[in-house]
Amino acid sequence: MDYNKIKLIILDCDGVFSDGRIIYDDHRVESKNFSAKDGMGIMLLKIADIKVAMITGRKSQVVLQRCQDLKFDFVYQGVWRKLPIAKEILAELGITWENVAYMGDDWNDYPVMKHAALSSCPADAFEDFKKTVDYVCIRKGGRGAVREFVEFILKHQGRFEDVLKKLIDNLESTDN
């Protein structure tokens, strides 16, 4: 596996980018739990110039807002069959499957995962599903698993320290 070829990370949402719980109040207002640590992972990807996409089976304004806040490159919701959408993204970017890392947590992610050069799942994915991926995170979905996967890739690319330095330099800058 040549980690340096990774140019795109595709994520599922529920159980990966969120903790998988779907909470409704009495007025059917939905809420989800996201990790700020995962958000920082997305920022690291942006600095590393690695594109990030979300393809998720449900539609949620909360998910769209979080993805917009973090400047995801692609967000597709309400997609049960994810493979055709993933192929569209690859075509738009002019890349191949050897440039793709994918993180999912259940069988509807598998058709895309089996094509990706690198696949991962959170620690709390089901045991049979864990057997299908290249890397099983120590952290759970919505609790830092995405950040862990991002750092795993950047470290294997030999770029983590440089990307982290750019982030810190940017945070220390007095320019706005």
**Domains in the chain, ordered, with CATH?**
3-172 (3.40.50.1000)
What rounded mean pLDDT belongs to the chain?
95
User: What would the two tokens of residue 117 be?
Assistant: 């050069």
pLDDT at position 170 over 90? no
Residue 98: CB atoms within 10 A of its CB come to 14
Instruction: Quick: pLDDT tens for 4-58.
Output: 999 999 999 999 999 988 888 898 888 888 999 999 999 999 999 999 999 999 9
CB 76 within 8 A of CB 58: no
The packing angle between helices 160-172 and 36-47, to 10°, is 100
pTM, rounded to two decimals:
0.94
For residue 8, give the H/E element and its range.
Answer: strand 8-11
